[in-house]
Amino acid sequence: MMKKTKLGVATAAFAVLALVAAACSSTKSPSAGGTGQVSELLGQGASFPALLYQKWADEYKSKGVQVNYQSTGSGAGIRAIKAKTVDFGASDAPLSDKDLNDSANPDASNLIHIPTVFGGVSLIYNVPGVKTGLKLAPTAIANIFLGKIKNWNDPAIASENPGVSLPSHAITVAHRSDGSGTTYIFTSFLSAVSSDWKTQVGASTSPTWPTGLGGEKNPGVAQIVKGTGKATYAIGYVELIYATKNNLNVALVKNPAGKWIAPTLDSLKAATASVDAATVPDDLRFSIVNAPGDASYPICGPTYLLVYKEQNKSREPSEARARTLVNFLWWALHDGQADAEGLQFVKMPPALLTKVEAAIRSITYNGTKVYTG
């Protein structure tokens, strides 16, 4: 079962060990017995990190490998890796125990999680006269998406926004219509802050929404909220970089410390810094929503690449393909991290990186470990 990490400050001794481990981590790609690589890798899934993965693909061409990544949503990425039509699937949601023990696909139990970066989910809205910075408490957010808060001037919203002229107009709720890891992070947050949400809906890539209109991917949700140049009185959620690039109004969210926090790279870094790597399970399925700390933004989480631990079970298996995939994963977790912050993602912390490296080192082909660095 996926584990919610215990969050807090690691001990000084652990921090020292983490720094030593980080210093020993090499950015040099691993190698395996034999020579050669394939010229193409196929990936599919999460739209949340798509801009970053596409940038990585462009840069990785210099290694003689074309990484073709299709942004189709986390649900599609999970289906594709299970069907073995891609070399890696991408999802912002870790696989559930049910996913891993899929009787229709016994090889699913061989899938492992490679977290790559951390990202945030922004709440966007379109209300006349209300600019970026509307304050929304966690319970109010849950009740809006449950359909319990129906109008913008509801006391639960108005009381947190004195001096803001909120209309009596009905709220239009926008959500993803496709299987989405962004939705998983958002609904994980709602489950953490609202017992009603947890029992009635829960955390899922494809929940049964109590209310609202569905849009495909970030552009679909944003289009519902933005409309055609007029007030829609709508609220929705998109990944941080999408909100930033499109200059969308974003809400401040109250975190567990009682502070109103905007989704920014710095507030995501603060949330990520609260992760105690020692408590992250070895299978790397974990959540950091609602992280502690005065500066932490509460709606964020890791995004994953899903690969077969035994590459002989993967798409068109060969030693060369296994080597090519491992080389790319190692590069992404080292050299590729330099691209993260420019796209509003947080790099993998050194102490957690050692666990991710261990997962990459565990990948085998015909029972022999591919990594030999």
Radius of gyration of the chain from its Cα atoms, rounded to whole angstroms: 21
b/e 43-52 (16+ beta carbons within 10 angstroms → b): bbbbbbbbbb
Flag whether the pTM goes above 0.75. yes
Confidence at residue 29, expressed as pLDDT on a 0 to 100 scale: 52
Work out the angle at residue 37's Cα, subtended by the Cα atoms of residues 36 and 41, and round it to the nearest 5 degrees: 175
pLDDT tens-digit series, residues 33-68: 345 899 999 999 999 999 999 999 999 999 999 999
- All CATH 3.40.190.10 domain ranges in the chain, comma separated: 28-119+301-369, 120-278
For 120-278, which CATH class? alpha beta
b/e 113-150 (16+ beta carbons within 10 angstroms → b): bbbbbbbbbbbbbbbeebeeebbbbbbbbbbbbbebbe
pLDDT tens-digit series, residues 186-204: 999 999 999 999 999 999 9
Q: Which residues contact 12 (CB under 8 A, 6 or more apart)?
A: none
Strand pairing class (66-71; 40-45)? parallel
Work out the angle at residue 339's Cα, subtended by the Cα atoms of residues 337 and 345, and round it to the nearest 5 degrees: 80
Q: Which regions in the chain score pLDDT beneath 70?
A: 1-35
| Cα–chain center distance at 312 | 28
Q: Are 65 and 56 in contact (CB under 8 A)?
A: no
In the sheet that holds 66-71, the strands lie side by side as 66-71, 40-45, 88-91, 300-308, 111-126, 234-239, 172-176, 213-215
Per CATH, the number for 28-119+301-369 is: 3.40.190.10
Q: Please report the DSSP string for 135-197 in residue order.
A: EE-HHHHHHHHHT---BTT-HHHHTTSTT-----PBPEEEEESS--HHHHHHHHHHHHH-HHH
Identity at 283, one-letter amino acid code: D
pLDDT tens-digit series, residues 281-315: 999 999 999 999 999 999 999 999 999 999 999 99
66 vs 125: CA distance, rounded Å:
38
Q: Are 30 and 327 in contact (CB under 8 A)?
A: yes
